[in-house]
Amino acid sequence: MMTPEQLVRNVTAITGYTRHAGVDIVSAEAGRVTLSLDKKPELTQFNGFFHGGVVSGLADHAAGAAATTALPAGKIAVTVDLHVNFLSPASGNRLYAKARAVQVGSTICVVTVDMETDTSDGLKPCALASVTLRVVDMPAMSSKPLA
Amino acid sequence: MMTPEQLVRNVTAITGYTRHAGVDIVSAEAGRVTLSLDKKPELTQFNGFFHGGVVSGLADHAAGAAATTALPAGKIAVTVDLHVNFLSPASGNRLYAKARAVQVGSTICVVTVDMETDTSDGLKPCALASVTLRVVDMPAMSSKPLA
Amino acid sequence: MMTPEQLVRNVTAITGYTRHAGVDIVSAEAGRVTLSLDKKPELTQFNGFFHGGVVSGLADHAAGAAATTALPAGKIAVTVDLHVNFLSPASGNRLYAKARAVQVGSTICVVTVDMETDTSDGLKPCALASVTLRVVDMPAMSSKPLA
Amino acid sequence: MMTPEQLVRNVTAITGYTRHAGVDIVSAEAGRVTLSLDKKPELTQFNGFFHGGVVSGLADHAAGAAATTALPAGKIAVTVDLHVNFLSPASGNRLYAKARAVQVGSTICVVTVDMETDTSDGLKPCALASVTLRVVDMPAMSSKPLA
């Protein structure tokens, strides 16, 4: 039986997208997961800020992690519907996704995600996401810890 | 004065995210832009399909391109709000975003995007997006063609 | 076994909200339902146009009808997630919701809705909705025609 | 110069939809507005709970009120984009919308709304909404208190 942190570490490591982007796990407990990402040229939009697709992608992954850690072992939550409100440019050097499962059902989960970026005045909200996920059986390959 | 295709090519090239991902411009006319992306390990989720964040990111970029090509020169559309419905796994080797501006105003644009992936039976819908964008002045740097 | 039109008529009649608002069924086939609504003072916003809540409510009901008519008998689709883009004021005397199921699964359905209003130049789009629904067993009471 | 409560009372009273539905103002300060609504047959879905369209409509109105009270006098926020996650049936006799402006700009506002309903165990969340609004000039008619 994996801890929530092992589970999130595992899923993040076997996912090409998050492994290549360099997603870090800041904290993980059942239903609450915070991830972060350092800025790199391949994650930016034309003005050098984090691209909206990266903001959306980190929100999506954090939502999946928050829902899955709240589910019984052997189940995983996959995104059905992703909604992102962009509040301000993600202009810092690091992007944070703080996901919280607000509903965990046997077929549907709902997760909200606060996206923040670092500024000289501390962390600042840059986007909000609400994510609807569907509960499915976890594929066999991800049921063992990677390391 | 750039053609819609030059404009989309330009914005896609100066955007680190889309340049590194390898976004291709399939077609571009004012208000209608189709982009595509080949599968690579850094774009996949744990099961090897395109990651939801990549689907969202390509939808976002296509929406911005469709809106911007419909705006007067010197204006660019930036995303305020991105909503993606995931219909089925993006299991093909290529992902397409077909964006169409359904409203182009002086302050707000709305774009819908049909996301498709190639299968042995041809292109298949994998997601739908609706995107709200805000019209702002284009930064000086992107007003000249790159090549 | 009810026809799609009987089913939509039935659900619309036993629903207090739609019966009182005066929702009409324009057409109904499996997966495609068009509803309409005449303007009345209790449906308007401060400027006399259809209120956004009414636009959203008609979209929601049309989406449920389009999904439910595409499901096996005894199943009903209930809304999980409603997203509405408002394109222009619903300034006509009649509001139309044209719903089309784009995905019908055993647990999740996705429906898009084009909202239109009548103008002196014909029907004009006033909103777009995308709706995610969950499939549940239909309550016993609605399994017989009302009239 | 109206107080936030006068402003919300005013807009709610001149809006046919909210006046007929019987929307009450629980509290109103700049950027934060709570509204409520008693159950009536014309607000219900087939099972007697508040209809999703009513939940959406109250969220929409509360969002507009929360944004408008945070704007300079003479400006009003109109909805561009409404997204509602339905968490559980709104099964109580009273529905509450607690709206909070999370961004107030000169052209765009973003408001989140917690929807709750009364149960024998107290208030329970039944939906979440995130709403994008556009700032426009307030029509002349609503610039004076109604009573």
Could you give the angle at which helices A52-68 and B52-69 cross, rounded to 10 degrees?
150
User: Both tokens of residue C35?
Assistant: 């509803």
Residue B47 inside a domain? The answer is yes
Q: How many domains does chain B have?
A: 1
Q: Worst-scoring range by mean pLDDT, B121-135, C43-57, D105-119?
A: C43-57
User: Both tokens of residue C93?
Assistant: 């005397």
Give the pLDDT confidence of A38-83 residue by residue, as tens digits.
999 889 988 889 999 999 999 999 999 999 999 999 999 999 999 9
So what's the pLDDT on residue D141? 52
Counting as contact any 3 or more CB pairs under 8 A, the partners of A are B, C, D
So what's the pLDDT on residue C143? 42
Among chain C residues, the shortest Cα distance to D13 is held by C46
So what's the pLDDT on residue D140? 67
- Phi, psi dihedral angles at D67 (to 5 degrees): -70, -45
Residue A145 inside a domain? The answer is no
C-alpha distances (whole Å) from D123 to each of D95, D114, D118 are 9, 11, 4
Residue B144 inside a domain? The answer is no
Looking at the complex, report in whole angstroms how far the Cα of residue D11 sits from the nearest Cα belonging to chain B. 24
* SS3 per residue for A96-133: EEEEEEEEECCCEEEEEEEEEEEECCEEEEEEEEEEEE
Count the Cβ atoms, other than its own, within 10 Å of residue A128: 21
Q: Is residue D95 packed enough to be buried (19+ CB in 10 Å), middle (13-18) or exposed (0-12)?
A: buried
Contact D134, D71 (CB under 8 A): no
Residue B146 inside a domain? The answer is no
C-alpha distances (whole Å) from A19 to each of A25, A82, B44, B49 are 11, 21, 10, 15
Full domain range(s) for residue A21: 4-140
C78's torsion region: left (phi>0), alpha (psi -120 to 50) or beta?
A: beta
Q: Which residues of chain B have pLDDT under 50?
A: 142-147
Q: Who among A21, A43, A86 is closest to B16 (CB)?
A: A43
CA distance B115 to D57: 30
User: What's CA C36's distance to the chain center, in Å?
Assistant: 8
C-alpha distances (whole Å) from B41 to each of A68, A134, B123 are 23, 24, 21
Across the range C4-32, mean pLDDT stands at 91
Q: What is the pLDDT confidence band of residue C140, given thresholds at 50, 70 and 90?
A: low
Residue D88 inside a domain? The answer is yes
Q: What is the pLDDT confidence band of residue D147, given thresholds at 50, 70 and 90?
A: very low
Residue D144 pLDDT > 50: no
- Residue C120's contacts (CB-CB under 8 Å, 6 or more residues apart) are none
Looking at the complex, report in whole angstroms how far the Cα of residue A79 sits from the nearest Cα belonging to chain B. 7
Residues of D in contact with B129 (CB under 8 A): none
Residue D144 inside a domain? The answer is no
User: Both tokens of residue D10?
Assistant: 């005013």
Residue D139 pLDDT > 80: no
**Inter-chain touch A107–C134, beta carbons under 8 Å:** yes
What is the domain-level CATH number for residue B85? 3.10.129.10
Nearest to D123 by CA among D89, D87, D94, D85: D94
Residue A145 pLDDT > 80: no
Eight-class DSSP state of C91: -
Residue C145 inside a domain? The answer is no
Among chain B residues, the shortest Cα distance to C83 is held by B83
**Inter-chain touch B107–D83, beta carbons under 8 Å:** no
ipTM of the predicted assembly exceeds 0.85: yes
Residue C144 inside a domain? The answer is no
Give the pLDDT confidence of C105-114 residue by residue, as tens digits.
999 999 999 9
Among chain C residues, the shortest Cα distance to D64 is held by C52
